[in-house]
Every structure is written in C-alpha cells, then in structure tokens.
C-alpha cells in the first residue's frame, strides 16, 4: 500500500493497494512504484509506502488458476492467458515465471501480471489442464520396488548395483 505525500493541494491523498508477486519486499516496493507511476500521477520522489504485507495462502487441494499477463519480448509487447494447476496463487505464479523463462525467454522484469483468477472446472479452456479435472483420476505406481528400511542393510558404497526386490 502506498500513496502520494500530503500537500496543500491534496491534504488527504488516495491510498493505492496492489498485489505484487516478488521475491522480497525490496523488489515489491520497486515494482509498486513502477506500476503506480504508469497508472496514476504518483512517483517515488513525492510518495510513500504505507505497508508491505506478505499474503500467505493455506490449503492442500489443487486448484486451477488462470493468469492474464503481458510481457515484453525482443519483437514487442504481447498479451497472454495461461492456466496452471497449483495449490495456491503463489505456486501458480512461480510455474508461470518458469514457463515464460523457458518457452519465451522472458524474465520476471519483462512480465506484468494483469489478473489471476481461480477457475471452476467448466471455465477451464486448455486441454492439458482439463485432463486432470476428472474426480476419479488415479496415479498408479506400476513399478514399485520395496527396499530394505533398516539402516544396517543399506550400504553407502557397493561394488555391484542392488537387485530389485518385488513384494
């Protein structure tokens, strides 16, 4: 959260709040000023940061998140929509940053997240995400090797590879 400094012209300036995904609070403050200076007539020289809070999401169930983003490439600016299966919004954004770096060579500074939405199963568009929406989906382990659990049976260095023990 931040605002412009109070003055005679505006004794109570408007407070602006943004959700910014950053590695630490220093980068979050920098990105806040980057975006707010483009949206409103406020810049770091005549503004102040009121609060920086880390938002924590808890949960163990996977959800589908849709991310609307804009990124700068070598050829221009592109808008994009991507879907991810993740436990929370932060892990979905981390997946998005990794994919954008790998597929499009876009760094974190080149990506602007416009919106993140939690999607219901009927809102999912991408086929690679739809395949995981079946409630009866199972992941069998066809080649499960049972290994000895006691520590004295395990060797750090062995002269031959261990044999598979089927249970």
pLDDT tens across 75-123, in order?
999 999 999 999 999 999 999 999 999 999 999 989 999 999 999 999 9
Per-residue pLDDT at 114: 93
Rg of the chain on CA atoms, in Å: 24
Per-residue pLDDT at 135: 86
Report DSSP state, residue 21: -
Cα distance from N-terminal residue to C-terminal residue, the chain = 58
Per-residue pLDDT at 74: 92
Per-residue pLDDT at 55: 85
Report DSSP state, residue 91: H
- pTM greater than 0.95 (yes/no): no
pLDDT in tens, the chain (167 residues): 999 999 999 999 999 999 998 889 999 999 999 999 999 999 999 999 999 999 888 878 899 999 999 999 999 999 999 999 999 999 999 999 999 999 999 999 899 999 999 999 999 999 999 999 988 988 888 888 777 666 666 666 777 777 776 65
Residues in the chain, overall count: 167
Report the alpha-carbon distance of residue 151 to residue 36 in Å, rounded.
58
Strand order in the sheet with 77-86: 77-86, 63-72, 111-119
Per-residue pLDDT at 145: 79
Q: Where are the domains of the chain?
A: 2-49, 63-130
Centre a 10 Å sphere on the Cβ of residue 50 and count the other Cβ atoms it contains. Answer: 11
Report the alpha-carbon distance of residue 57 to residue 51 in Å, rounded.
19
- Options 3.40.190.170, 3.40.30.10, 3.10.20.10, 3.40.50.720; CATH for 63-130 is 3.10.20.10
Per-residue pLDDT at 44: 94
């Amino acid at each position: 959260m931040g605002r412009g400094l109070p003055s005679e012209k505006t004794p109570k300036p408007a407070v602006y709040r943004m959700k910014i995904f950053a590695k630490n609070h220093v980068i979050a403050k920098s990105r806040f000023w980057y975006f707010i200076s483009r949206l409103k007539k406020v810049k770091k020289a005549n503004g102040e940061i009121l609060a920086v809070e880390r938002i924590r999401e808890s949960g163990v169930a996977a959800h589908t998140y849709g991310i609307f983003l804009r990124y700068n490439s070598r050829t221009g600016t592109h808008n994009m929509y991507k879907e991810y299966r993740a436990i929370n919004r932060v892990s979905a954004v981390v997946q998005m940053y990794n994919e954008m770096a790998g597929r499009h060579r876009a760094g974190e500074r080149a990506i602007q997240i416009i919106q993140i939405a939690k999607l219901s199963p009927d809102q999912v568009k991408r086929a690679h995400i739809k395949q995981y929406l079946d409630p009866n989906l199972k992941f069998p382990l066809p080649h499960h090797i049972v290994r000895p659990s006691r520590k004295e049976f395990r060797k750090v260095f062995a002269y031959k590879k261990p044999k598979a023990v089927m249970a």
